[in-house]
Structure 1
């Protein structure tokens, strides 16, 4: 169960990002660049010949970096266009995509609990963040849904990259690729001003980005992808409760019920006996 706990802890740390991003007041692209740059700092120490010689794992790592940058760009575009609830809900179609496609893409045993749990967690997330009377934007939904696709790609790519790269290597090297991709996508707009808020976002990069992703990738190496998808819902769950606790955002009875549903389904999926006992041949040879 410790690997499930690692993935859960990593996703929970991602949910702390609002504590660092909101006070900084930087643009989405600037925040993304700073976060990924912090994660990429250890990358030069992990460019080893042994890891690079596994072409499949290295290609997967590059794909992960590009997909993560596009994922971030689409998420921030969706949030900027608004409403935020639509952006978040469509972005978190990713765990459902992961649960449905894992048996075909990487040959994992099908998890019935994950297939049942994915729509239930989507319902719980809807109750958690939906606000009555909120507008609907078709373009926001398209951008959020597209980001979900690229987020799912990063999960599968990370799983394959872990064949030859350590969790810190996966985290830092993919982030370096993401930084380059963001600079190509946004150019100078991604460069933040040299002011105090930059240091605050960098601190978030250490806690939420570097530590969160290392824990997530350590656990991801040893648990089925379908269970990973269910546990990633801890990110919006954490962010929402922090918004209520720190930023005085409204959270009514239905929101509390939705949060409890997300948490309960995540535990239910992660404790499925078939998942706990199933071998993971694709990652058994990781270094």
Structure 2
């Protein structure tokens, strides 16, 4: 059984990963300002840059042992890569149909609910009262935060868009749940090398028909390397390591710290106003984190 010290360490690993993910929007926005690229191209390069970084980490930390993966487990890791690609591709497509607001709300808020249901009924991880309260705080906090930052006229209730956003949430939740299965059996970099290598290949297949954008100024290549190394390779490595002693349910809730980070960066860098609802949403998210961090 994991000690409280191990839980605290792993908890903050996942918080750090969520903060890193919150910088993705700012980096993407900077690239869009200089280059006529598209979401699938950016998603592909994120994963394509991260995969060799995971390989280097595997060779340094595990040596040849990184190849010691059971065939059945290898299949699940490949499936994790497919779920990561599904999450990225479906979310990008959902925005085209339903706009940012609806797509983001569904993708971010539905995923923890899927994780809670699957963890409870399939993996027998019974959430505590404090975890459920944290889920409610994070759920409503995310809604307030996202709605306060987005023009309501940007979205519409397209059934296709809603379906794609639900598919995105399902892919994200499945990635978390499958990853939880291997936390004690394999190193986090080992899991992610297989998953992100697979995801990059799948996203490449999606991006090529629509036109893969591979020409960027030097500054944007540096931003792409940042996207692949920090909020992808480092963040997912920390996230996977953090799930050693943090339940899948708690991990999925902690990841909702991502929109709060994005909102704070937008406020600091682009002077976007949060408004009273955004501030309330941020406070609810912080409250959810505190409930999880100091639960008994």
- TM-score tier, shorter chain, comes to 0.7 to 0.9
8 A Cα contact 1:68 1:178, kept in partner: yes
Which one of 112, 137, 147 corresponds to residue 157 of structure 2?
137
- 2:107 counterpart residue number: 91
Structure-2 separation of matches of 1:50 and 1:208: 23
Secondary structure in 2 matching 1:103: helix
Residues 10-45 of structure 1: CA deviation (Å, up to 9, x unaligned): 111000112211111221001101100111013545
1:202 aligned residue (219, 225, 248):
225
Q: Secondary structure at the match of 1:223?
A: coil
Following superposition, the deviation at residue 193 of structure 1 comes to 2.3
1:8-23 equivalence runs, <5 A: 8-23=15-30
Structure 1 residues 133 and 179, CA gap change in structure 2 (3 angstroms): closer
1:162 aligns with 2:183: yes
Q: Which residue of 2 aligns with 1:257?
A: 280
In 1, distance between residues paired with 2:211 and 2:242?
A: 31
Which aligned pairs between 1:179-190 and structure 2 lie closer than 5 A? 179-189=200-210
Tell me which moved more, 194-203 or 47-56: 47-56
Distance 1:190 1:201, change over 3 A: farther
Say if 2:47 and 2:232, in contact at 8 Å, map to a contact too: yes
The alpha-carbon deviation at position 153 of structure 1 amounts to 0.2
List runs of 5+ in structure 1 lacking aligned partners.
Answer: 274-287
**3-state DSSP of counterpart to 2:181:** helix
User: Which residue of structure 2 lines up, in the alignment, with residue 74 of structure 1?
Assistant: 90
Which residue matches 1:175? 196
SS, match of residue 161 in structure 1: coil
TM-score w.r.t. length of structure 2: 0.84
Which of 119, 126, 140 aligns to 1:109? It is: 126
Q: Does 2:58 correspond to 1:42? A: no
Indicate how the Cα distance of structure 1 residues 136 and 103 shifts in structure 2: closer, same or farther if over 3 A, else same. same
Tell me the equivalent position of 1:283: none
Query: More displaced, 255-264 or 104-113?
Result: 104-113
- Residues 222 and 56 of structure 1: is their aligned pair in 2 closer, same or farther, counting only changes over 3 Å? farther
Q: Match of 1:33?
A: 44
2:69, 2:187 → 1: CA distance? 14
Is the Cα–Cα contact under 8 Å of residues 141 and 281 in structure 2 kept in the other structure?
A: yes
Q: Distance in 2 between matches of 1:97 and 1:112?
A: 18
Distance 1:110 1:133, change over 3 A: closer
Whole-angstrom CA distance in 1 between matches of 2:23 and 2:252: 19
The answer (yes or no) to whether the contact 2:21–2:258 under 8 Å persists in 1 is yes
Taking the aligned partners of 2:175 and 2:119, their CA distance within structure 1 comes to 13
Deviation at 1:227, TM superposition (A): 1.0
1:33–1:84 distance in 2 versus 1, CA, 3 Å: same
Contact 2:40 / 2:206 at 8 angstroms: preserved in 1?
no
The offset of 1:133, in angstroms, is: 4.4
What's the CA shift string for 1:250-273, capped at 9, x where partnerless? 310111011110111122134322
Residue 10 and residue 29 in structure 1: after superposition, are their counterparts in 2 closer, same or farther (change >3 A)? same
TM-score where L is the length of structure 1: 0.87
Q: 2:140 aligns with which of 106, 118, 123?
A: 123
Contact 2:54/2:233, CA 8 A, preserved across alignment: no
Any conservation in 2 of the 1:96–1:115 contact (CA below 8 Å)?
Answer: no
Q: Within 2, Cα distance between the matches of 1:244 and 1:141?
A: 28
How far, CA to CA, are the matches of 1:111 and 1:55 in structure 2? 35
Would you say the 8 A contact 1:51–1:164 is kept in 2? Answer: no
Q: Residue in 1 aligned with 2:168?
A: 147
